[in-house]
Amino acid sequence: MSVIAPKFRLGYFIKALLDNIFWAVVLLTLAGIPAIMILLFYIDLPIIDGQILTPFLAFTWMTHPEMSVPLVKAFMQTDFFRIAAFPGFGFGALLAAGVIFVERKMLAKLQLRVGPFYCGKVEGILQLMSDGIKLLTKEIIIPAKADKPIFWVAPLLFVGTAAAFVSLIPVAPKTVVADIDVGLLAVFAIIGFFPIITVLSSWSANSKYPFIGGIRALHQMISFEIPLILSLLGVVILTGTLNLSEIVESQATYWWIAFLPIGAIVFFIAMLAELERIPFDLPEAESEIVAGWLTEFSGMMYGLVQLGSYLKLYAFAGLFVVLFLGGWQGPMVWPPFPEEIVTEGITMGPVTAQIPGLPLFSQEVLNGTLWFILKTAAVIFFILLPRGVFPRIRIDLLLHVGWYRLIGLSFVNIFIALGLLYAGVLGPEGIL
């Protein structure tokens, strides 16, 4: 007689927990603490208020609010924080997780069903976390005939490229990881990496369906890159700059979507195709080619590709906002920071803490971030909606749309921009 569910015994459970704690403690003392010490030996310690910051001092200051705030502020100025957390990867990944949740619930609502419901008590808000844990714990299966190094590296490259794309998007004034003068060119360069990664990963899997999917992805991405790039040239012509922050600043009074609606529509459609979202999800068409170029990925490799594609979605939506919807520009709605917290400190019971370094973010940054997130959410809604409404398009129709319609329309858009420029309506010396 076989029992499907083994009997649960509290003793075993506690023993397993204690085992885990024991090994964690042992590993931390034997390997972790020496590693931290070695690392600290090589790191240049910052100087704050004329004092070299040692770990001892850092831990001491953590107990004093008036000392810890400058410490946190100093940390927030570091490149590491900017890349990994706020305007970079962490912020993008958080928004991407939100996108996945909203996509599931919205699609479920459109399809008259419930969607994730039980995980996390409130409308399945922790479903993504449980999915992530599931993917992490699953076995990673590599096809026997695969080209293993490339196959292993492809998901990492995909996420890395998506994160590089995220780092170019300005979120608020002076809040961008890489504020470079050729921002838009860098965007084009990074977008150009995606088909290469896709075709490499699909080819290295050495399997039929990924191969067909990779070829389709290559066709689709390359043929839609041209209208994508051309549709943005209108904005570049009118602003005369490639720097994304400057493009945002040029839209203080009016948004470019008001003058270049054709460019915006072309960019939106090309964006859907670049993102491989329905109706352009041919590289992953499940009823024809199983899962396309993702067929052989398993476990967290698949999870990484998904993370990368949602990061890419956020980055494209952010790019749309930056170029056409005025980026962080918007009326000031964020309440000003109460001054008395800085001057008088926070009183909690008998203790009064003086905190001189506040606020951590200026009012402009918070307001800009808020408007940026709101606009991005609106764009993402329109990216998600077609998934519930349209069927998949066919490859010949797709290429027809890309090469004939969209490229033509984007040239029309460029002529409109040039007309506006030479008529003296807009541009560096325009009347508006």
Partner 1 sequence: MGTASGIIKALNSGIKHLAVKRFTLRYPEQKLKFVGDGYQYDPTTGVGIAGYKGRHILFHDKCTGCQLCAIACEGVAEAIAMVKVNENWKHNKKAIMPQIDYGKCVFCGLCVDACPFYALYMTNDYELSSFTKEGLIYTPSQLQVKPQVQQDAEIQIDDRGASHG
Partner 2 sequence: MTTQLPPGLQLEKVDERIMTLNVGPQHPGSGHMRLIVQVDGDYIVACDPDPGYVHRGEEKMCEYRNYITNIPHLERPVIHDSCNILYPYCLAVEEILGLEVPERAKYVRVIASELNRCVYTMYWLAIYGIFLGHSTMFMWPMGDRELLIDLLEKITGARVTHAYFVPGGVRNDLPANFEDVCLRQVNYFEKRIKEYADIFYDNPILISRTENTGILSRQDAIRLGTTGSVLRASGVDFDIRKKEPYDVYENLDFQTNVLQSGDSYARSKIPWLDMFESCRIIRDALRKMPKSGSVRVKLKPNPKGGDVEVYRRVESGRGALGMHVISKSKPEPYRVKISVGSFRNLICIPYLLRGEKLGNMPAVYWSLNYWPVEADR
Nearest distance, CB of residue 391 and partner 2, angstroms: 4
As to burial, measured by CB atoms within 10 angstroms (0-12 exposed, 13-18 middle, 19+ buried), residue 223 is buried
Using rule CB under 8 A, residue 122 touches partner 1: no
Judged by CB under 8 A, which stretch of 11-19, 77-85, 106-114, 204-212 contacts partner 1?
106-114
* 324: Cα within 13 Å, side-chain hemisphere: 24
Using rule CB under 8 A, residue 382 touches partner 2: no
Q: Which of residues 341-380 bind partner 2 (CB under 8 A)?
A: none
Q: Which of residues 199-238 bind partner 2 (CB under 8 A)?
A: 208-209, 212
Question: Out of 387, 403, 411, 412, which residue is the one contacting partner 2 (CB under 8 A)?
Answer: 387
Tokens linked to 148: 């293993």
Instruction: Give the C-alpha separation, 310 to 101, whole Å.
Output: 11
Instruction: Give the C-alpha separation, 334 to 348, whole Å.
Output: 25
Using rule CB under 8 A, residue 102 touches partner 1: no
Long-range contacts of the stretch 145-149 (C-beta < 8 A, 24+): 145/206, 146/204, 146/205, 146/206, 146/207, 146/296, 147/203, 147/204, 147/206, 148/204
Judged by CB under 8 A, which stretch of 149-157, 221-229, 306-314, 386-394 contacts partner 2?
386-394
Nearest distance, CB of residue 211 and partner 2, angstroms: 9
**Sign (positive/negative) of CA torsion 379, 371, 373, 119?**
negative
Instruction: Give the C-alpha separation, 413 to 239, whole Å.
Output: 15
In this structure, the dihedral spanned by the alpha carbons of residues 416, 420, 423 and 425, taken in order and rounded to 10 degrees, is: 160
Question: Out of 35, 397, 423, 425, which residue is the one contacting partner 2 (CB under 8 A)?
Answer: 397
Using rule CB under 8 A, residue 265 touches partner 2: no
Using rule CB under 8 A, residue 268 touches partner 1: no
Nearest distance, CB of residue 349 and partner 1, angstroms: 44
Q: What stretch of H or E contains 151?
A: helix 148-166
3-state SS assignment for residue 52: strand
Q: Which does 106 bind (CB under 5 to 8 A by kind): partner 2, partner 1, none?
A: partner 1
Instruction: Give the C-alpha separation, 189 to 174, whole Å.
Output: 23
Q: Could you tell me which of 102, 104, 100, 107 has the C-alpha nearest to residue 388?
A: 107
Using rule CB under 8 A, residue 115 touches partner 2: no
Q: Which does 117 bind (CB under 5 to 8 A by kind): partner 1, partner 2, none?
A: partner 1
Question: Out of 349, 389, 396, 422, which residue is the one contacting partner 1 (CB under 8 A)?
Answer: 389
Using rule CB under 8 A, residue 351 touches partner 1: no
DSSP letter for each residue of 88-127:
SHHHHHHHHHHHHHHHHHHHHHHTTS--S-STTSSTTTTH
Using rule CB under 8 A, residue 385 touches partner 1: yes
Nearest distance, CB of residue 270 and partner 1, angstroms: 16
Using rule CB under 8 A, residue 393 touches partner 2: yes
Pick 82 or 216: Cβ nearer partner 2:
216
Question: Out of 288, 299, 353, 403, which residue is the one contacting partner 2 (CB under 8 A)?
Answer: 288
- Which amino acid, residue 233? L
Q: Which does 1 bind (CB under 5 to 8 A by kind): partner 2, partner 1, none?
A: partner 1
Using rule CB under 8 A, residue 390 touches partner 1: yes
Tokens linked to 289: 């080619």
DSSP letter for each residue of 171-224:
-BTTB-S---TTHHHHHHHHHTHHHHHHHHHHHHTT-HHHHHHHHHHHHHHHHH
Q: Which does 289 bind (CB under 5 to 8 A by kind): partner 2, partner 1, none?
A: partner 2
Q: Which does 218 bind (CB under 5 to 8 A by kind): partner 2, partner 1, none?
A: none
Pick 252 or 397: Cβ nearer partner 1:
397
Using rule CB under 8 A, residue 38 touches partner 1: no
Nearest distance, CB of residue 395 and partner 2, angstroms: 6
Using rule CB under 8 A, residue 289 touches partner 2: yes
Binding site for partner 2 (CB under 8 A): 107, 110-113, 208-209, 212, 278-279, 281-282, 285-290, 387-397
Q: Which residues bind partner 1 (CB under 8 A)?
A: 1-5, 106, 108-114, 117, 385-386, 388-390
